[in-house]
């Protein structure tokens, strides 16, 4: 019977549920207000805006991985990689058919 219960009750992945150890909403609101006032007064404390931060992060993943960096340096695009993968699959299939025809038939 346990075999058939999997059809009626499919398993679901566990959900991520992070409960912070300590969170002070009052302190967070004070920090937001202080940042807003400093920004209005022009006394920016050196923190970058979100847009500046996004431009800094944009290429950091590719720079951190050696294989992606090499493929970009060679000028490879995802389309050319896909065509090479398809070509390899076709060659393997043709070799398998030739092997089957010559040795297994």
Whether residue 94 is predicted with pLDDT greater than 80 in this model: the reply is yes
Helices and strands, number each (H, E), in the chain: 6, 0
pLDDT in tens, 25-83: 899 899 889 888 887 887 765 555 666 566 667 667 777 788 777 877 887 777 777 88
Would you say residue 96 has pLDDT above 60?
Answer: yes
What confidence category does residue 89 fall into, taking pLDDT thresholds of 50, 70 and 90? very high
CA quadruple 67, 71, 77, 80: dihedral sign: negative
The contacts of residue 69 (CB under 8 Å, 6+ apart) are: 62, 63
Nearest to 68 by CA among 86, 49, 81: 81
Q: Note the pTM of the prediction, 2 decimals.
A: 0.35
């Amino acid at each position: 019977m346990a075999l058939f219960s999997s059809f009626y009750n499919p398993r679901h992945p566990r959900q991520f549920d992070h409960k912070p150890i300590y969170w002070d909403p009052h302190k967070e609101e004070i920090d937001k207000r202080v940042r807003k006032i400093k920004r209005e007064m022009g006394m920016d404390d050196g923190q970058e805006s979100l847009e500046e931060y996004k431009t800094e992060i944009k290429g950091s993943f590719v720079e951190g991985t050696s294989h992606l960096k090499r493929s970009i340096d060679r000028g490879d695009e995802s389309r050319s990689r896909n065509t090479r993968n398809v070509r390899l699959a076709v060659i393997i299939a043709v070799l398998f058919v030739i092997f089957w025809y010559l040795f297994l038939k």
